[in-house]
Structure 1
Amino acid sequence: MPADQNQPFDLLIIGGGINGAGIARDAAGRGLRVLLVEQEDLAQHTSSASTKLIHGGLRYLEYYEFRLVREALMERERLLAMAPHIIWPLRFVLPHENAVRPAWMVRLGLFLYDHLGGRRRLPGSEGVAFPDGRFGSALRPGIGRGFIYSDCWVEDSRLVVLNAMDAAERGATIRTRTRFLDARRQGALWHATVQDLGSGERQAVTARAIVNAAGPWVGQVLGQGLGIQGEATVRLVKGSHLVVPRLYEGDHAYILQNPDKRIVFAIPYERDFTLIGTTDVAWKQAPGRVAISPEETSYLCDSVNRYFSRQVRPEDAVWSYAGVRPLYDNAAKSDSAVTRDYVLNVDAPAGGAPLLSIYGGKITTYRRLAEHALEKLQPHLGMPATSWTAGAPLPGGDMPDADFDRFLLGLRQRAPFLPEDLARRLARAYGTRTDDLLCGARAMADLGEDFGGGLTRAEVDYLMRREWAVAAEDILWRRSKLGLHVPAGTEERLRDYLAEVEPRRMAAAG
């Protein structure tokens, strides 16, 4: 906590996913005194378990969610400019089978998709005939035509971390491994208790307002932590993904239509793999660590096998992940039809401290959600009403003309000792902050021990110093996906190093 911890925070944010981090960034930039608490690591659950897309949501047009799609498409353009290192364009191939949706419906949907959001940077949609050397060679015989359109890829967990970094650099206090226990209103202030899960120490915190951005735990925080029965309800839906060895050549993705009218993506992943997902399964259990089920695995394999010549078996998977999405329950009949829009519920009795709870949302619209959240809190907190985040690059994204290739070329010239693959990975992960990580190094030896796969001590130290990394899992699976690439023994060596360094780091911080 900062030295003046006895003074009230303006905002106590519960939850270190994309919504909590985005609100912390926006609020800190408006001059508010912000505390964000996250019981585990940043983006440990839902926000790192997405399909890694910044997209408008083509299929949401079927449910007439035009406002949501328009907002998401507009945000797609903004986010691409804000973070060109972790977000980049991706072309999607949609093989067409008339039994699922007629061609006229797909064409109409793509026309709306091209024009609803004021597309500027990305190429528009077009038809394509198969077999086509680039897009159709991986597809099974008999698929004669399809469509191509554009969306964007995002490193989802890094998007969360960069928002938290920017918030901290603007004065916010970000505390991971810190659990919110409870809070009660006393006049115009919330009196809350949080617990450091490392030391077990409990601390009292006061705040003028609370934002409940706890994701799947939003109802638990509301009822058990705050003693408030909310009117809005959350519908938990599990989404799972498979990672398999690369299914096809090329940097394009596929969007596959299933007989049940759901869609599944097949996307190039981490150079050597293909990401397949996602599922929509009602989740009634605790929203902690979840895993893909055998039924979901079979569903995703069947979805791919329906279209690709190369068949996928469950045992081909090299990794899988799953997350629980906290969707706003709009009483839709099926889990896939539940709205991905968000609802912001404000509880603000006369003379009492306000509470804002977040239901639903999608990673693409997190920035607008943060703006809307602060608009709702503005009358209670008296902060500047002017929004600022739309044109402000995220840490590492301040590249001239948002030109990643030019930046990478400059990095290779400044640090010619970096192997080409490592230079690209660092540039993608850290953007213009890569120079901070390198700390003036002139040779690979200057970066310290290589734990495997190009993960050096300099990078680990940077992640601990600047990005709240504490555990090997934080580094290998959220700050990066090096867990897919490093040799046997890397994780153990990394754990040993972290166990050695962390006590010294905590003593220095104290």
Structure 2
Amino acid sequence: MQDVLDLVIIGGGINGVGIARDAAGRGLSVLLCEQDDLAQHTSSASTKLIHGGLRYLEYYEFSLVRKALQEREVLLRAAPHIIWPLRFVMPHDQHLRPAWLIRAGLFLYDHLARRELLPGSTSVKLARHPAGKPLHDRFQKGFIYSDGWVQDARLVVLNAMDAARRGAEILTRTRCVAAARVNGVWEVELQCPDGSTRRVKARALVNAAGPWVGQVLKSAIGVQAERSVRLVKGSHIVVPKLFEHDHAYIFQNPDKRIIFAIPYETDFTLIGTTDVEYKGDAAKVAIDQDEVSYLCDMAGRYFKQQITPGDVVWHYSGVRPLLDDESASAASVTRDYSLELDADHGEPPLLSVFGGKITTFRKLAEEAVERLQPLLNSTARSWTANAVLPGGDLPAGGIAVYARQLQEACPSLPAAMLARYARTYGSCSTTILSDIQLGGVMAEEVLPGVYAAELHYLVRQEWACTAEDILWRRSKLGLHLPADAATRLEAWLHQHRDGLLNK
């Protein structure tokens, strides 16, 4: 790494890695530091949707919805292995929004941006559609529309991988403890995983610390921000699957909020989210009993099969650092973003990111880099709109064809595992499978369906360090493996740590 970098980025969530990828692809020298694991906080705690945000139309956020709908198409093309189309069923509750209002909203949703990959919306008689069977009989009609589904934490990792392949240095478990302008550059002090200190210099600094953006400005940099974020907790529950078809649901509720019920990990249904003002430590956010009961009750308004807190097999919570627009309720706070640039009097620039949503991360990153470019004497053009992420270069016919190709190439391996590889690693699957087929230590089955070759790949290529990184962020294997899987995996990682880190 050169003496003075072009860019140091604080924060390994979706916005930070998106900026790192875009900047590295334009030839800028980049270092990104993240105090924990990639996507450990907000970016792995979403509802896992790539969507325009249908409900934001009620708050007249037409520009945000249009931008998100445009990005939905871009991302479906960029990562077809971890992002795929999903049809949503909205049962009509005649006591809430009138049917004409929903039809008008869906018409706007279909036409605010050019749509090539997804079918438009339609009305549906639920008694004649498989999606009607799990619902209470009082729901006679509804609407169906399209959006996208994403493995959110993997989206973060793939952006970091692409950034690293283009020359960026990605440092996890590395905290920025101080940054100051000295002699025309930023001097940044980093605390490494082993407790040692590293100092780097950069021509520009990006603060993409999410919930900690204000704290980093105040404590590490000593700058007062003009904008602020409003912390809103969103919690989700996972229960055994409530329906057999492949559609998701969007439910309207009397409090004017909506919740989603989404097919999840083959055997489960994901239900969320809540919107609760949050004042505590963002690193310690957790679901509370009121949220669990709320999600169970709201789902029970629609599903015949009632669920209780005892049915919940997993839950997760995250703090969304929303741009504070002084809205009266958490649900109405904008999901748009603001980029605050501090570059007065020829000083090295500081760019801070406030707000945002996972669907618009690429556009945010593009705008961030383009605001910094004139100050870095860079004229490279934007490039990410037409570039695939690692593993996204699938054959004609997409993921289904690729999964069949893997099964033909590896007939001795379980078909379910190969399908998981296709949906997790895309074309990068061949790297892992070639190691398994060589036999030897790489073919050791460490956990059911989890081979040493996959673990080596995750540690060496995807910055995984712990069992939690692997079982709950790089994958959701934690839902499918035995209860002692984390303990067994942690022991294996400890035993093989030296070999894994010897890249």
TM range (shorter): over 0.9
Match of 2:267 in 1: 272
Letter in 1 for 2:446: F
Moved more, 453-462 or 272-281: 453-462
Match of 1:61 in 2: 57
Where in structure 1 do 4 or more consecutive aligned residues deviate above 2 Å?
439-449, 503-506
> 2:451, 2:424 → 1: CA distance?
14
Do the aligned partners of residues 128 and 82 (structure 1) sit closer, same or farther apart at CA in structure 2, a change above 3 Å counting?
same
Q: What are the superposed Cα offsets for residues 269-312 of structure 1, whole Å, 9 maximum, x if unpaired? A: 00000000000000011111311111111110111000000001
Q: CA deviation at 1:55?
A: 0.3
8 Å CA contact 1:181–1:194 kept in 2: the answer is yes
Q: What are the superposed Cα offsets for residues 362-413 of structure 1, whole Å, 9 maximum, x if unpaired? A: 0000000000101111111122341100111000001134711111121111
Q: CA deviation at 1:19?
A: 0.3
Match of 1:25 among 21, 24, 39: 21
8 Å CA contact 1:76–1:152 kept in 2: the answer is yes
Match of 1:183 among 171, 179, 184: 179
> 2:496, 2:5 → 1: CA distance?
31
Do the aligned partners of residues 360 and 312 (structure 1) sit closer, same or farther apart at CA in structure 2, a change above 3 Å counting?
same
Match of 1:153 in 2: 149
Moved more, 66-75 or 452-461: 452-461
Moved more, 488-497 or 316-325: 488-497
1:85-164 equivalences under 5 Å are 85-164=81-160
> 2:279, 2:82 → 1: CA distance?
33
Pair 1:482-2:468 in alignment: no
Letter in 1 for 2:379: P
> 2:430, 2:334 → 1: CA distance?
42
Pair 1:396-2:381 in alignment: no
8 Å CA contact 1:187–1:353 kept in 2: the answer is no
8 Å CA contact 1:84–1:402 kept in 2: the answer is no
Match of 1:245 among 240, 244, 252: 240
Letter in 2 for 1:70: R
Moved more, 302-311 or 394-403: 394-403
SS in 1 for 2:189: strand
Letter in 2 for 1:302: D
8 Å CA contact 2:437–2:443 kept in 1: the answer is no
Match of 1:289 in 2: 284
Moved more, 395-404 or 153-162: 395-404
Match of 2:169 in 1: 173
Number of residues paired by the alignment? 503
Q: Name the TM-score, length of structure 1 as normaliser.
A: 0.97
Pair 1:334-2:341 in alignment: no
Letter in 1 for 2:291: E
Moved more, 416-425 or 378-387: 378-387
> 2:428, 2:308 → 1: CA distance?
41
Letter in 2 for 1:456: Y
Moved more, 423-432 or 495-504: 495-504
8 Å CA contact 2:259–2:271 kept in 1: the answer is yes
8 Å CA contact 1:16–1:41 kept in 2: the answer is yes
SS in 1 for 2:299: helix
Match of 1:301 among 296, 301, 305: 296
> 1:466, 1:62 → 2: CA distance?
43
1:468-507 equivalences under 5 Å are 468-506=463-501
> 1:261, 1:401 → 2: CA distance?
43
8 Å CA contact 1:375–1:385 kept in 2: the answer is no
Q: Percent identity?
A: 59
Q: CA deviation at 1:443?
A: 7.7
Letter in 1 for 2:391: G
Q: What are the superposed Cα offsets for residues 423-446 of structure 1, whole Å, 9 maximum, x if unpaired? A: 100011000000011225438877
Task: Give unpaired runs (5+ residues) of structure 2.
Answer: none
Moved more, 126-135 or 429-438: 126-135
8 Å CA contact 2:435–2:442 kept in 1: the answer is no
8 Å CA contact 1:81–1:402 kept in 2: the answer is no
> 1:437, 1:193 → 2: CA distance?
36
Q: Name the TM-score, length of structure 2 as normaliser.
A: 0.98
Q: CA deviation at 1:141?
A: 1.4
1:296-375 equivalences under 5 Å are 296-375=291-370
Moved more, 161-170 or 132-141: 132-141
> 2:440, 2:61 → 1: CA distance?
54
> 1:340, 1:385 → 2: CA distance?
29
8 Å CA contact 1:438–1:447 kept in 2: the answer is no
